[in-house]
């Protein structure tokens, strides 16, 4: 939870830097609100018991509840919101044991009628700010556009009623070789082979602005209105992304399709080296579920952000309108979901330092000859003084604790300072402040005497200095690492 | 949500100051885990649909899931944890419409085998730190001890099997006059009138250490083992609370009984002037539900913390053992729940200032003659520079926005500074920084020119100065208020 908290606070502070506010939507939705929004994954929706009243389900993601909320609040025509909360899926409904999955998602959305691609660009900028701060290693933001895909399928001759199916087959190219995807299109979904081959010519392409240019100069594509509209959007988006300095992270990837039905414009998905699934060499049939049965791995198996990705999203201009009875509340939206559990797994695996158990800066302890009182009241008194000064402090809940036990409690949580009370010292109005973990021979190894009246101030000074020292060390290490890289 | 967030962060920072960590327990529990823990309120538990698998319910509070978690993790023999999360109740199960209630609780618990009253005292100290920081006005922490109550009922001659019922009747003394409580005991619960009268002699008493002394010198009470054990605990607790300087907030109140079954020691409940229910003068029967049907009021109707209170808790030494199959994990615990929704209502009512919509410090805008470009790329560029420096900044998602609209967007959210781009200025490498809301005639009313290269640094300086100025004003206001009080 310490690591997870750190991830939450990093993400939250970046959302707020961009002017977002948080909105809390309920964990329940009417069953009908969720029906028909998630394609074939709808079977994973968890229903509440009918104890008399409306039929409700637990939220499956944070996007549909947000859209429903916007539709119910038509006075809100624009908002930037974030929401960190749990979503719920029934794990393998066919299983005997009804195991449930609950995991965190962390969403950011911009709703409102705006000029094209400005909010979309800011979302991608925010994504890079977050991923850079979380230090997850190399990552790529794959990007595509639903109108480009739709145009492409039209040009290739895919029948309109097959577009969604073919689209979801194409989406599997990140974990299946082309030959298997083609087989799914032709054998399972009945697409003529020549159409599949034509699709293959295009969807295996990836690149940057060069690819946009290449596609624009392909006559048959340039003749399709939907395709060109998508290209225009992408060109404008790239203009803005260039200013935001995020181009090096982007990969325009024609195979990215995203499973969910509600996207209408730009779509994107973030993969890291650690999260990317390896494309299978064999042509053995693969299911969308990973084979891993470890319950911990399961927790991060968040299909809405795509298998193997750590964040995903896109533009959904029609979803709010679906919940608006009058049709008035058709607010266009664009957003992204971060898979916090998957980010957590990667962060944890990359961590070299031990995580401290808590935040405490000072452990207040007492020391005296055998049979001494334990000075419990004096320890409470000193703790109170420190708390009053806003200092994080702890003590042992024993009237007569052993010194060793007090030290080991402090060390267990990595508490940096001990304030040690002794009867003789206290009679002189002093206590000992000792930095824990100093090397032998250090001049302050045995601690320094501090007047009780100066204690809060002295401790604060030391905590601040230690903070400065630590960031200086972190900076030095970073510089060395950078030099090594260059 | 802005106010709620502020409450959460205040509470969280105080929990952490005392060395607490957060643990996240699932929103689901097996139905059997929750059964039999909440007395007659069990009918409000929300069950999940049986879609094949174990029968589950949604958590009703955060205490039972924490105890269950401790029992499942027997290696954890001590922990200080906090948890801010939602709990679920079915609203009025008899109603036709199955409305649900979800609301936040915010719990802090100390688990572990420790010397008596030390963790209990720290919980009460934390409670005062939190309530003082939240500025909720005058409040009182009512305190009592289950062993004192049990001893009292024994001495008065209440049959053992009636103790819980009589106890919950006594607990209603904060909102019903004694005559009604007595009627409930005798007419509804069949207690002989002379026993009820004897109970009445004691449970209407409240006070401080003086009352402890008085009770100790009452022979019939001093002869009861359970009663004396409770008194000893209270005496020791008062010793510690004196050091922690929280005595002025405490009221030892013999009528406090708390409805939940699982308490075994000290119990407490916090009432504020704003939250306290008025004791009814009439002897009309009252239900435990307030008559108010406003859905907002309903949200804060959190019965686990007691009608009219904003926080409540106590010691529960047996609950973990109930979930421990081997009986090994009998970790004693003491804790408190804060009713965030009720605190929120009070805070909101006490607020005199308007709450800002978001946190943004700078609104980046452009200004030019009719038909000018709108400088969208330049605005993005400046925003990027500010974000890179960690400054919270926003811009309008329009290519050619009107200056008025940009100002009104900034004002709507109370953004303190505008950075205004103009083509002539930008050609000279400068922009204008303008503090919004300055009075007419202020020397910087029209803004000041700042070199683009110095912008992040200049803006940071101004934000910091403004922060200092605001806290100085707040301090001055506080001093004036204090002087008025004295």
B86 with A27: Cβ contact below 8 A:
yes
> What span, in angstroms and rounded, lies between the C-alpha atoms of B101 and B90?
6
Backbone angles phi, psi at B303, to 5 degrees: -70, -25
Domains of chain B: 2-350 (3.30.930.10), 362-469 (3.40.50.800)
Q: Which residue has the tokens 């979803």?
A: A319
Range in A121-125, A242-246, A286-290, B10-14 the model is least confident about: A286-290
- E strand or H helix at B127: helix B118-134
Closest by CA position to A144, among listed A307, A271, A249, A256:
A256
**Of the partner residues A80, A239, A390, the one whose CB lies closest to the CB of residue B17:** A390
Q: Return the pLDDT at B49.
A: 76
Q: Return the pLDDT at B283.
A: 42
Tell me the three state secondary structure of residue B28: strand
Q: Indicate if the pLDDT at residue A223 is higher than 80.
A: yes
Q: Return the pLDDT at B340.
A: 87
A99 with B53: Cβ contact below 8 A:
yes
- What pLDDT digit, counting tens, does each position of A50-101 carry? 776 677 888 888 999 999 999 988 888 899 999 999 998 876 554 444 455 7
**Of the partner residues B51, B240, B393, the one whose CB lies closest to the CB of residue A90:** B51
Question: Number of Cβ pairs closer than 8 Å across A and B?
Answer: 181
Q: Return the pLDDT at B43.
A: 74
B98 with A51: Cβ contact below 8 A:
yes
Which residue in chain A is spatially nearest to B122 when comparing CA positions?
A380
> What span, in angstroms and rounded, lies between the C-alpha atoms of B177 and B191?
18
How far apart, in Å, are the Cα atoms of B233 and each of A23, B7, B212, B267?
44, 32, 11, 12
Closest by CA position to A418, among listed A381, A440, A448:
A448
Q: Indicate if the pLDDT at residue A47 is higher than 70.
A: yes
Average pLDDT of span A345-357: 75
How long is chain B? 486
Cα A45 to chain centroid distance, Å, stands at: 22
Residues in A 5-24 with any Cβ partner in B closer than 8 A = 5, 16-24
Residue B378 has a CB neighbour count (10 Å cut-off) of: 19
Average pLDDT of span B363-387: 93
Position with higher pLDDT, B403 vs B324: B403
Mutate to test the interface with A, among B6, B10, B17 (most CBs of A within 10 A): B17
- What pLDDT digit, counting tens, does each position of B71-109 carry? 988 888 899 999 999 998 876 554 434 455 788 899 999
% of chain A exceeding 70 in pLDDT = 85
- What pLDDT digit, counting tens, does each position of A178-203 carry? 999 999 999 999 999 999 999 999 99
B93 chain-A contacts, CB cut-off 8 A: 51-52
Backbone angles phi, psi at B141, to 5 degrees: -100, 105
Query: What sign has the CA pseudo-torsion A439, A444, A449, A451?
Result: negative
Position with higher pLDDT, A271 vs B53: A271
Position with higher pLDDT, A52 vs B301: A52
> What span, in angstroms and rounded, lies between the C-alpha atoms of B107 and B105?
6
Residues in A 404-423 with any Cβ partner in B closer than 8 A = 413
Strand order in B393-395's β-sheet? Answer: B393-395, B362-366, B417-421, B430-435, B448-451
Q: Which residue has the tokens 């007691």?
A: B306
**pLDDT confidence band for B292 (50 / 70 / 90):** very low
- What pLDDT digit, counting tens, does each position of A135-179 carry? 888 999 999 999 999 999 999 999 999 988 899 899 889 889 999
Position with higher pLDDT, A299 vs B45: B45
Position with higher pLDDT, A30 vs B376: B376
- Nearest CA of chain A to the CA of B216: how many Å? 24
Average pLDDT of span B413-439: 94
B47 chain-A contacts, CB cut-off 8 A: 48-49, 51
Q: Return the pLDDT at B482.
A: 54
To the nearest 10°, the Cα dihedral for B300, B306, B312, B313?
A: -130
Q: Return the pLDDT at B325.
A: 72
Query: What sign has the CA pseudo-torsion A314, B397, B453, B416?
Result: negative
A99 chain-B contacts, CB cut-off 8 A: 53
B114 with A2: Cβ contact below 8 A:
no
**pLDDT confidence band for B424 (50 / 70 / 90):** very high
Residues in B 38-77 with any Cβ partner in A closer than 8 A = 46-54, 56
Mean residue pLDDT across chain A: 85
**pLDDT confidence band for A40 (50 / 70 / 90):** low
Q: Indicate if the pLDDT at residue B294 is higher than 50.
A: no
Q: Return the pLDDT at B485.
A: 52
Average pLDDT of span A195-216: 95
Backbone angles phi, psi at B268, to 5 degrees: -150, 160
Q: Indicate if the pLDDT at residue A259 is higher than 90.
A: no
- E strand or H helix at B426: helix B423-427
Average pLDDT of span B324-339: 85
Average pLDDT of span B223-252: 96
Range in A87-96, A361-370, B452-461 the model is least confident about: A87-96
Q: Indicate if the pLDDT at residue A42 is higher than 70.
A: yes
Q: Which residue has the tokens 């904003």?
A: B310
Backbone angles phi, psi at A378, to 5 degrees: -65, -40
Strand duo B362-366 + B393-395: pairing:
parallel
**Does the annotation place A262 within a ligand binding site?**
yes
**Does the annotation place B262 within a ligand binding site?**
yes
A397 with B243: Cβ contact below 8 A:
no
**Of the partner residues A96, A358, A384, the one whose CB lies closest to the CB of residue B244:** A384
Cα B249 to chain centroid distance, Å, stands at: 17
**pLDDT confidence band for B301 (50 / 70 / 90):** very low
Tokens of A64: 């549909």
CB B350, CB B138: distance < 8 Å: no
Residues in A 305-364 with any Cβ partner in B closer than 8 A = 357-360
Residues contacting residue A445 through CB under 8 Å, at least 6 positions apart? A438, A439
Mean residue pLDDT across chain B: 85
Q: Return the pLDDT at B52.
A: 65
**Does the annotation place A89 within a ligand binding site?**
yes
Q: Return the pLDDT at A37.
A: 74
> What span, in angstroms and rounded, lies between the C-alpha atoms of B313 and B266?
9
B118 with A376: Cβ contact below 8 A:
yes
Which residue in chain B is spatially nearest to A119 when comparing CA positions?
B397
- What pLDDT digit, counting tens, does each position of B143-201 carry? 999 999 999 999 999 999 998 889 989 988 988 999 999 999 999 999 999 999 999 99
CB B315, CB B120: distance < 8 Å: yes
Backbone angles phi, psi at B438, to 5 degrees: -70, 145
CB B123, CB B81: distance < 8 Å: no
Write down the H helix ranges in A90-244: 118-134, 146-156, 163-170, 178-183, 193-203, 209-216, 219-222, 225-243
**Does the annotation place B92 within a ligand binding site?**
no
Q: Indicate if the pLDDT at residue B280 is higher than 70.
A: no
CB A356, CB A380: distance < 8 Å: no
- Residue-wise over B329-358: b if at least 16 C-beta within 10 A, else e? bbbbbbbbbbbbbbbbbbbeeeeeeeeeeb
Q: Indicate if the pLDDT at residue A294 is higher than 50.
A: no
**Does the annotation place A218 within a ligand binding site?**
no
Write down the H helix ranges in A249-339: 295-299, 319-322
Which residue in chain A is spatially nearest to B102 when comparing CA positions?
A26
Position with higher pLDDT, A289 vs B460: B460
Q: Return the pLDDT at A292.
A: 37
> What span, in angstroms and rounded, lies between the C-alpha atoms of A310 and A337?
9
Q: Return the pLDDT at B279.
A: 47
Average pLDDT of span A396-419: 93
Which residue in chain A is spatially nearest to B392 when comparing CA positions?
A17
> What span, in angstroms and rounded, lies between the C-alpha atoms of B59 and B40?
16
HSE (side-chain half, CA atoms, 13 Å) at A297: 9
B19 with A398: Cβ contact below 8 A:
no
Q: Which residue has the tokens 């303190």?
A: B416
Mutate to test the interface with A, among B48, B69, B417 (most CBs of A within 10 A): B48
> What span, in angstroms and rounded, lies between the C-alpha atoms of B486 and B474?
18
Q: Return the pLDDT at B259.
A: 72
- The answer to whether A31 contacts chain B (CB < 8 Å) is no
Average pLDDT of span A247-257: 95
Q: Indicate if the pLDDT at residue A301 is higher than 50.
A: no
Which residue in chain B is spatially nearest to A360 when comparing CA positions?
B19
**Of the partner residues A20, A98, A397, the one whose CB lies closest to the CB of residue B52:** A98
């Amino acid at each position: 939870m310490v690591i997870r908290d750190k991830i939450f606070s990093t993400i939250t502070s970046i959302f707020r830097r961009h002017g977002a506010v948080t909105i809390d939507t309920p964990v329940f939705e009417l069953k009908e609100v969720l029906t028909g929004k998630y394609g074939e994954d709808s079977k994973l929706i968890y229903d509440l018991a009918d104890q008399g009243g409306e039929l409700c389900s637990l939220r499956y993601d944070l996007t549909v509840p947000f859209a429903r909320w916007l539709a119910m609040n038509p006075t809100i025509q624009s908002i930037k919101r974030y929401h960190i909360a749990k979503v719920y899926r029934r794990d393998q409904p066919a299983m005997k044991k009804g195991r449930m999955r609950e995991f965190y998602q962390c969403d950011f959305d911009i709703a409102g009628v705006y000029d094209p691609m400005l909010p979309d660009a800011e979302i991608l900028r925010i994504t890079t700010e977050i991923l850079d701060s979380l230090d997850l290693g190399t990552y790529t933001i794959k990007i595509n556009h639903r109108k480009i895909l739709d145009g492409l399928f039209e040009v290739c001759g895919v029948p309109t009623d097959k577009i969604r199916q073919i689209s979801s087959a194409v989406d599997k190219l990140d974990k299946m070789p082309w030959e298997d995807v083609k087989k799914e299109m032709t054998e399972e979904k009945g697409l003529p082979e020549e159409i599949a081959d034509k699709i293959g010519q295009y969807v295996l392409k990836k690149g940057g602005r060069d690819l946009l240019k290449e596609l624009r100069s392909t006559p048959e594509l340039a003749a399709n209105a939907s395709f060109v509209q998508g290209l225009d959007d992408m060109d404008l988006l790239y203009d803005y992304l260039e200013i935001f300095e995020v181009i090096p992270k982007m990969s325009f990837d024609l195979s990215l399709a995203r499973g969910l039905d509600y996207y209408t414009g730009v779509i994107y998905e973030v993969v890291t080296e650690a999260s990317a699934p390896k494309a299978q060499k064999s042509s053995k049939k693969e299911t969308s579920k990973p084979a891993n049965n470890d319950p911990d791995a399961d927790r991060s198996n968040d299909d809405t952000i795509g298998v193997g990705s750590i964040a995903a999203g896109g533009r959904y201009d029609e979803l709010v309108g679906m919940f608006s009875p009058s049709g008035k509340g058709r607010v266009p939206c664009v957003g992204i979901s971060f898979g916090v559990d998957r980010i957590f797994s990667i962060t944890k695996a990359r961590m070299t330092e031990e995580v401290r158990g808590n935040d405490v800066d000072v452990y207040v302890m007492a020391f005296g000859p055998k049979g001494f009182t334990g000075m419990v009241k004096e320890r409470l008194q000193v703790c109170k003084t420190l708390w009053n000064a806003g200092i994080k402090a702890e003590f042992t809940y024993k009237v007569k604790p052993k010194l060793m036990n007090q030290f080991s409690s402090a060390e267990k949580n990595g508490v940096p300072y001990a304030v040690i009370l002794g009867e003789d010292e206290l009679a002189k109005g002093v206590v000992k402040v000792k930095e824990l973990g100093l090397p032998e021979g250090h001049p302050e190894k045995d601690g320094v005497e501090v007047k009780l009246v100066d204690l809060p101030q002295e401790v604060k000074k030391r905590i601040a200095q230690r903070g400065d020292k630590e960031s200086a060390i972190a900076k030095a290490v970073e510089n060395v690492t950078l030099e090594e890289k260059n």
